[in-house]
Structure 1
Amino acid sequence: MVELSYGGARPDRARGGLVLLHGRGATAEGILDLGHALGLPDLALAAPQAPGMTWWPTSFLAPSAQMEPFVERGLAAVDAAIAALVEQGLPRDRIALAGFSQGGCLALEYAARRGGLTAVFGLSAGLVGTGDAGGGPEEALYGFGQKRFDYDTRLDGVPVEITVHERDPHIPLARARESEGVFARLGAAARLTVTPGAGHGIGPEAVAALRGHLNV
């Protein structure tokens, strides 16, 4: 059973919906603050809680055999949050998905595997991938190997916003750039925003991008 937290407008009266995914060590209630910060009271907000406050126990760059069971559990949690909004009267094609850090990676992975959303935001995030590509560890991937990105979902015209710091301790810039390219191949209107310097967080430009896409 997935634990869900809600905020904003009632789904049956909302103009749109936003599912929010928290990062490692955080909570569903905490990530709802991002939704409230948008200043869009006619959005219905929903956030699933990860068991133990983490979607997976290792880096998202880890080999697929380590990641896949946790990714599947996370995807099911997103399914549950979307289904809850739909059951309360909000059409799926009016629901967007956003997440930060681990939650951002999960949001991007959900979009690439499932689709059917109005917009996707991976804040300090990159794609997990569908399998290992072989080869040895790479410095640009923080000592991990390359992944495959064998998605067959079509995301024609769907806005996909990815943000990352130039030197992010958890998200390699190389993976964020690769993720942008993957989404472009799937037909999405993909954009990567790189913040100069070191860091790992949600900047005001990310909030502005969220508001801009959702305030329509």
Structure 2
Amino acid sequence: MYTHQKNYISAGAPAGKATGALIMLHGRGGSAADILGLAGELKNVNEFAVYAPQASKNSWYPHSFMAPDASNQPALNSALEVIGKVVEEILAAGIPAERIFFLGFSQGACLTLEYIARNAMRYGGAVAFTGGLIGEELNKSNYRGSFAGTPVLITTGDPDPHVPLARVEASVQQLQEQNANVKLQVYKGRPHTILRDELKLADEWVFGAQPPVL
């Protein structure tokens, strides 16, 4: 089994001058450089500081996101800790939680949803391109806090070879119970990829959203 270190590549504006921060999580077999490349397709993150953590062995956890929890440990908890450390670094740089955004694809989308549900608060927003909450069954005791209306976009294909629609829908319900403003977009027959339409929707609906009045 394996664990992760806080190892990321960054792009965009310096944290001290950025209007927000975006944490991007790659999928299984992908890389930080791969997912970071998507930032160039999102016009509304041009003034953000962008962070793309790199998983050990290019995988955040070894088995399916719906495998028994123990089979994905200690990698899963280690991956969640890495995200937490990046969030702490962003906060220390002076960017508040309500201007921190998340984006993940596939395994990275699952990890994105799992992290924010376990640490719910008013974030800038989150995008999960084909993912759901992690576990053989959803353990509601893991999820705490209120999103206070944080916009969360979840997109998926139907059917998808890795992510059942039923789990996506259960994840939407859980996030809504934590007061997230969730938008689910299902693409019939879409392969396991990210469509340009999904990027456009994320750019407009999440990254183009007006910041909250605090």
- Calculate the TM-score normalised by the size of structure 1: 0.87
Q: Offset of 1:85 from its aligned partner?
A: 2.4
Which aligned runs of 4 or more in structure 1 are off by greater than 6 angstroms? none
Note the residue ranges of structure 2 that are not aligned, 5 or more in a row.
none
Contact 1:47 1:81 in 2 (8 A): no
1:79–1:148 distance in 2 versus 1, CA, 3 Å: closer
- From 168, 174, 194, the counterpart of 1:182: 174
Residues 106-125 of structure 1: pairs in structure 2 closer than 5 A: 106-116=111-121, 117-125=123-131
Residues 61-76 of structure 1: pairs in structure 2 closer than 5 A: 61-76=66-81
Note the residue ranges of structure 1 that are not aligned, 5 or more in a row.
130-144
Moved more, 146-155 or 54-63: 146-155
- From 18, 22, 37, the counterpart of 2:26: 22
Q: Distance in 2 between matches of 1:109 and 1:177?
A: 14
Q: Distance in 1 between matches of 2:200 and 2:89?
A: 27
Q: Which residue in 2 is equivalent to 1:44?
A: 49
SS of 1:192's partner is: strand
Moved more, 64-73 or 31-40: 64-73
Q: Percent identity?
A: 34
Q: Offset of 1:68 from its aligned partner?
A: 4.3
The amino acid across from 1:164 in the alignment is T
SS of 2:189's partner is: strand
Contact 1:183 1:190 in 2 (8 A): yes
> In the alignment, is residue 103 of structure 1 matched against residue 114 of structure 2?
no
| 1:177-196 superposed Cα distances (whole Å, 9 cap, x missing partner) | 11111111111111211011
Q: Offset of 1:79 from its aligned partner?
A: 1.3
- From 52, 61, 64, the counterpart of 1:56: 61
> In the alignment, is residue 159 of structure 1 matched against residue 158 of structure 2?
no
| 1:151-191 superposed Cα distances (whole Å, 9 cap, x missing partner) | 22211211111111001111001100111111111111112
Q: Offset of 1:208 from its aligned partner?
A: 1.4
Contact 1:126 1:179 in 2 (8 A): yes
Q: Offset of 1:47 from its aligned partner?
A: 0.9
Q: Which residue in 1 is equivalent to 2:184?
A: 192
Aligned residues: 201
Q: Offset of 1:147 from its aligned partner?
A: 3.3
Contact 1:8 1:36 in 2 (8 A): no
Contact 2:61 2:73 in 1 (8 A): no
Q: Which residue in 2 is equivalent to 1:147?
A: 138
- Calculate the TM-score normalised by the size of structure 2: 0.88
Moved more, 39-48 or 65-74: 65-74
Q: Distance in 1 between matches of 2:144 and 2:93?
A: 30
Q: Which residue in 2 is equivalent to 1:138?
A: none
Contact 1:46 1:85 in 2 (8 A): no
Q: What is the CA RMSD across the aligned residues, in angstroms?
A: 1.5
SS of 1:165's partner is: strand
Q: Which residue in 2 is equivalent to 1:11?
A: 15
The amino acid across from 1:106 in the alignment is L
Contact 2:119 2:144 in 1 (8 A): no
Q: Distance in 2 between matches of 1:158 and 1:198?
A: 27
Q: Distance in 2 between matches of 1:79 and 1:87?
A: 12
